[in-house]
Structure 1
Amino acid sequence: MSRFKRGGKIDSRAGFRTEVSSSPIPNGLLKAARKSGQLNLSARGLTEVPLNVWRLNLDTPEEANQNLAFGADDRWWEQTDLTKLIISSNKLETLSENVKLLPALVVLDVHDNQLTTLPKELGELEQLQRLVISHNKLTELPAELWGLTTLRSLHLQQNQLQQLPEEIGQLVNLDEIDLSNNQFTGVPDGLGNLTKLVKLNLSHNKLKSLSPAIRNMKNLRMLDCTHNQLESVPPVLAQMESLELLYLRHNKLRLLPELPQCKTLKELHVGNNQIVGIEAEYLKHLSALSVLELRDNKLTALPDEVTLLEGLERLDLANNDLSSLPCTLGNLPKLKSVSLEGNPLRGIRRDLIAKGTGELLKYLRSRIKEEPGDSAEQPQTAMTLPSQARVDVHSIKTLKALNYSEKQEAVIPDDVFDAVGGGPVASVNFSKNQLTSVPPRLLELKDTVSDINLGFNKLTSITVEFCSLKHLSHIDLRNNFITELPSEMEGLAKLRSIILSFNRFKAFPDFLYKITALETILISNNQVNGIDPARLKMLDKLSTLDLQNNDIMQVPPELGNCTSLRALMLDGNPFRNPRAAIVAKGTDAIMEYLRSRIPT
């Protein structure tokens, strides 16, 4: 019978072509793999791995059946065993037991698939050193896995694992293991047997404590416990002499860990916790520290001993409750970056902070030089008025700062304003007195003043005339008896931060919704009963909102749409949702919860 069908199209090359069965893996790729010992099949849409891949080193290659002369590069009988196989980013739901047919594998990467189980035959890969099975749907692991004692790198992140067996301690040659983004509530003591471990990632789990057995990890350089539920860290952590990077962000720590033997620690990240203070003694041991990240905590003060961190290059203090900084901070020789946004700082002008770290440190150094000389420049003589002796005239002239705080006086003496002498004043501090009203002569400074502190007085109201201070960028009215503020304050268009904590507000001041420059609003410990999330969203620069200890019965889910918020404090309100456990996790968890409750 003719090989040409009637009416069919004749292929002139048909007699010289060898029929090849279709395969998702090009033959040329397999041929190259025999020579190099490496095969990359990532992102090919595979639902299963073809059998000829598993039998790559067993079957005679197809080209051996062809009547061809072999050059030096085509000697299939001189093939190399496959040592590296990458089948990541496919659609695999299972991994074939035929993986055992590649016993020479050193690297196996199957991350980003749909695997729910692993074959026990994986334990027969006795030369395997690197196993990447992250970003799958694994809920358990085969017991045979723990027999792969040659493993040096194990990536299990982004799965659904809830526990690890003690047998994990048999992987004694591991130098890195990534267990992040699972559902671990604890880790076994056997983990402490991994004495060669250099990197340990436990982030994004549900850990409430760390095993004391980590003391045995004498070579550990990086420990990441970000996004867990740690309220403290075991004292043995302080014995890890090789530790260089420690990440403890987004936990429930109330104190900075004491790390007396961590002489090599270079970076300490403890942001988004509940740290209220730093023991000065703890800082003395961290001589090698170059990065200290303390943002989004509840710090009220920074100890002078921070200046012992002579290697410090970056200091992040954003979104705390710092009212001042130690002047000696300016002497740190390597400090290049200081983040301070979201703090109610007094005595340091906002425009100076905006100029960057260099100008800030220069200013702090200038204060060090001035402090010893202040008394010499303001000698008490017969020609000096008593009230003037209590006013730092030098500070007014050089720093544009008028400070008459902690005098417990009911009225600011005229001599204090007279000392200004018509010069520009940017910062005014009349806190901790007995003022019952805003000093009228404050309006004399309206052309230059940008920062006013009237906290810790007995103010019951603020006059409309106060609203003529159009250059104000920071107002501190905490710890007074104020129940409301004049609506005319919406005209303070340059206002970036306002502190109204510990007053008697029953409603969120309406004018605050209208000042688009606002970055920080602190109104804790009042009687505020609610907020308008739709209007709050219009404040696209607002990063810190403190509503703690008010009378908020319901948190509107739409508050989750205020994406500019980096610090949202809601503790101490009588609402039921979000639950206390979610609130305790911090701003990210609260915002995520609220967004999930927004009606669609």
Structure 2
Amino acid sequence: MDRLLKAARTSGSLNLSNRSLRDVPNEVYQSLDAVGKDENWWEAVELQKLILAHNNIESLKEDLRNLPQLTVLNVSHNKLSDLPAAIGELPMLKSLDVSFNSILKIPEEIGSATSLVKFDCSCNRLKELPSSIGRCVELSDLKASKNVIVGLPEDLVNCSKLTKLDVEGNKLTMLSENLIASWTMLTEFNASKNLLSSIPENIGNLSHLIRFDLHQNKISSIPPSIMGCSSLVEFYMGNNSLSSLPTEIGVLSRLGNLDLHSNQLKEYPVEACKLHLSVLDLSNNSLTGLPPEMGNMTTLRKLLLTGNPLRTLRSSLVSGPTPALLKYLRSRLSEGEDSEITTPTKEDVITRAARLSIASKELSLEGLSLSAVPSEVWESGEVIKVDLSRNAIQELPVELSSCISLQILILSRNKIKDWPGAILKSLPNLLCLKLDNNPLRQIPSDGFQAVSRVQVLDLSGTASSLPEHPAFSSMSHLQELYLRRMQLHEVPSDIFNLQQLRILDLSQNSLQSVSVEFQRLTSLSELGLSDNNISVLPPELGLLEPSLQALRLDGNPMRSIRRTILDRGTKAVLNYLKDKIPQ
């Protein structure tokens, strides 16, 4: 403990999670009072971040006031039944997590923690939130799910900066129109699993709302004002008492996921067929038919209809693939209407891809013949996958630099000539990079340092890209490397330093020999050597037999191994080679 406290006095951060603590050590409350003789007291800093999660702590002392510089306090997953009034004497507190405890009441003093931005009190035994929380005007993220809260305090109208609100699994019977009027910045609102009977008439005020979850309530109608929620991407209304949908829902052009399962819908309005949905769940309703216009919803990937008394559709269509059902519905349109069906324009596809990326965290603009990426597609800075393959892009968009969560970047088959080192360096979480089939010029000698954490790299078909001595070893995490059609005459020696490499594809090159150094790649499970000029394999390659599952040799003038052995597959070849190793 002394060592941790000493480190905390230097860093300002103390993590005591998962230590089976029943109490918070007194030293934590007086961290600066315990400066040791071997420490410079003038260099000590006050505690700013305190993590006490996943312990058995039953109470926090009022001595908490001794930590006035605290900005983060996490006491989730403990056994707290209350919070000290001193919580209000932490003027710098920005993040407070008391979730997964047994707290019965939040003290009114919390209203004095006016710097609070994020508050999580979910999974407790709260019957109400204190009205004083309305004084926390900086609050943007409030989680109070899975309690027994019966109503939200009207003072929350002052929290106009709220962007995320989660009150799932409580006993709310209504949402105040006054609150809705003030929460115009909300982007995510989850009030599912409550006792709500209606949606406020002014719900359209939430024009920034992206995700709206009201499933498992007692709501009987959706107000026409829903059309004002113009940013809505996901709308969950399953397990309610809806008997109809407002025609105005059809104007929600960004909506991609609409869940209406387990309601009492008797029809799906024609106007709602204008939506560009990806997923539509209408299962377990009272639908007897579907409008033929639904066939025009060509963006639908999944349409769920089971549990409806559909009389005009064969059961095989209802339970079959969505495209087949949509095709059938289109065939039911009159000839005049059918002629109006058009293939989505490139602009429509781009807009839809941008909209879907908000929820899916994936942006796909594959095969659109783009020479540049429109700036408006970067609606989500949290995308984890971007696919720009099969276009005519020459330079990467600068907006990519802001996608710090990006893990997969696919740039195959474009017209990229220069190694995009600056942008790649700004993507700290990038794990997969595919630059194959681009007219890539030589990569700088230190170019691979920009992608040092990448696990999958494909440079196939970029014959001029590799420097004379490519520094593959700077990518120590590399697990898959694809170098097909690179006009290689020998394997770059640095590859043999990649101890985590599992897949190496060197097919369609001009290799004439296989180095004994391959035996160093002890994690290799696939090795592609097809379509080269290899006639002899070194016996040492057989040492990879425990891990190597696929050795592809077809298309080589192999002379050292009989065809009968080659035809028996990888294991036979490796065992044959291993037997040739001199004893």
TM-score, normalization: structure 1? 0.54
Post-superposition offset of 1:213: 1.5
CA deviation after TM superposition for structure 1 residue 204, in Å: 1.1
Partner residue, 1:221: 187
Deviations 1:557-596 (A, max 9, x none): xxxxxxxxxxxxxxxxxxxxxxxxxxxxxxxxxxxxxxxx
Aligned to 2:35: 60
Give the 5 Å matches for 1:366-515.
Answer: 366-368=331-333
Shift of 1:51: 1.5
Aligned equivalent of 2:508: none
Shift, 1:120, TM fit: 1.2
Alignment partner, residue 265 of structure 1: 232
Amino acid at match of 1:274: S
- Partner residue of 2:250? 284
Quote the residue 1:247 is aligned against: 213
Residue of structure 1 in register with 2:271 after alignment: 305
- Supply the AA of the counterpart residue of 1:203: E
Q: Distance in 2 between matches of 1:34 and 1:363?
A: 70
User: Which moved further from structure 2: 178-187 or 53-62?
Assistant: 53-62
For residues 339 and 57 of structure 1, what CA distance do their matches in structure 2 show?
Answer: 61
Aligned to 1:58, what secondary structure does the other structure show? helix
Residues 1:105 and 2:105 aligned together = no
Alignment partner of 2:8 out of 33, 38, 43: 33
CA contact (8 A) 1:200 1:224 kept: yes
Structure 1: segments with no counterpart, 5+ residues: 1-24, 65-74, 374-600
- Would you say 1:47 and 2:4 are equivalent positions? no
CA contact (8 A) 2:81 2:101 kept: yes
Change (3 A) 1:79 1:362: farther
**For the structure 1 residues 81 and 364, does the alpha-carbon distance in structure 2 shift closer, same or farther, using more than 3 Å as the test?**
same
Q: Is the 8 A contact 1:188 1:211 kept in 2?
A: no
Partner of 2:459: none
Distance in structure 2 (CA, Å) of the matches to 1:272 and 1:147: 39
Alignment pair present for 1:133 and 2:98: yes
How far is the alpha carbon of 1:228 from its aligned partner?
Answer: 1.1
Shift in Å, 1:278: 1.6
Structure 2: which amino acid aligns with 1:38?
A: S
Shift in alpha-carbon separation, 1:370–1:188, aligned structure 2, 3 A: same
Q: Is 1:187 matched up with 2:187?
A: no
Query: Residue 45 of structure 2 is aligned with which of 71, 74, 80?
Result: 80
For 1:140 and 1:226, locate their aligned partners in 2 and report how far apart those are by CA, in whole Å: 22
Describe the SS at the equivalent of 1:185: coil
CA shift for structure 1 position 372:
7.8
Alignment of 1:352-371 (within 5 A): 352-368=317-333
1:270 Cα offset (Å): 0.7
SS state at 1:305 partner: helix
Cα gap change, 1:61 to 1:340, in 2 (>3 Å): farther
Give 2:116's aligned residue: 151
Partner residue in 1 for 2:133: 168
Q: Deviations over 1:181-213 (max 9, x none)?
A: 121211121111110000111211111111122
2:242 match: 275
- 2:107–2:130 Cα contact (<8 Å) kept: no
Q: Which amino acid aligns with 1:275?
A: L
Q: Which amino acid aligns with 1:50?
A: P
Q: What displacement does 1:370 show?
A: 6.4
CA RMSD of aligned residues (A): 2.0
> Match for 1:269: what amino acid?
Y
Which AA in structure 1 matches 2:74?
D
- What is the rounded CA distance, in whole Å, between the counterparts of 1:362 and 1:44 in structure 2? 60
For residues 121 and 49 of structure 1, the distance between their equivalents in structure 2, rounded to whole angstroms, comes to 15
Runs of at least 5 residues in structure 2 that lack an aligned partner in the other structure? 339-583
Alpha-carbon offset, residue 53 of structure 1: 2.0
The answer to whether the Cα contact below 8 Å between 1:34 and 1:76 also exists between their aligned partners in 2 is: no
By relative contact order (CA 8 Å, sep 6+), the higher-ranking structure is 1
Amino acid at match of 1:42: S
| Aligned amino acid, residue 225 of structure 1 | A
Asked if structure 1 preserves the Cα contact closer than 8 Å seen for 2:298 and 2:326, the reply is no
Q: Secondary structure at the match of 1:307?
A: helix
- The match for 2:166 is 201
Distance 2:296 2:5 in 1: 62
Instruction: Name the counterpart of 2:522.
Output: none
Partner in structure 1 of residue 56 of structure 2: 91
SS in 2 for 1:131: strand
8 Å CA contact 1:243, 1:262 repeated in 2 = yes
> Structure 1, residues 484-543: CA drift from partner, whole Å, max 9, x if none?
xxxxxxxxxxxxxxxxxxxxxxxxxxxxxxxxxxxxxxxxxxxxxxxxxxxxxxxxxxxx
Structure 2 vs 1, CA of residues 46 and 115 (structure 1 numbering), >3 Å: closer, same or farther? same
Preserved contact between residue 129 and residue 152 of structure 2 (Cα < 8 Å): yes
CA radius of gyration, larger in: 1
Q: Secondary structure at the match of 2:189?
A: strand
1:63 Cα deviation from its structure 2 partner: 4.6
Q: SS at the partner of 2:333? A: helix
Q: Distance in 1 between matches of 2:38 and 2:21?
A: 25
Equivalents in 2 of 1:337, 1:120: separation in Å?
51
Measured in 1, the distance between the counterparts of 2:163 and 2:303 equals: 30
The residue identity in structure 2 corresponding to 1:155 is D
- Report the residue type matching 1:32 in the other structure: A
1:404-449 deviation digits (Å, cap 9, x = unpaired): xxxxxxxxxxxxxxxxxxxxxxxxxxxxxxxxxxxxxxxxxxxxxx
Cα distance between partner residues in 2 of 1:62 and 1:88: 31
- Contact 1:57-1:102 within 8 A present in 2 as well: no
Provide the C-alpha distance between the structure 2 equivalents of 1:41 and 1:370, rounded to a whole number of angstroms: 71
Kindly tell me the number of residue pairs found equivalent between the two proteins.
336
Cα drift, residue 58 of structure 1: 2.8
CA gap 1:352/1:76 in 2 versus in 1, 3 angstroms: farther
Q: Which residue is equivalent to 1:236?
A: 202
**Alignment-derived partner of residue 322 in structure 1:** 287
Percent identical pairs in the alignment equals 38
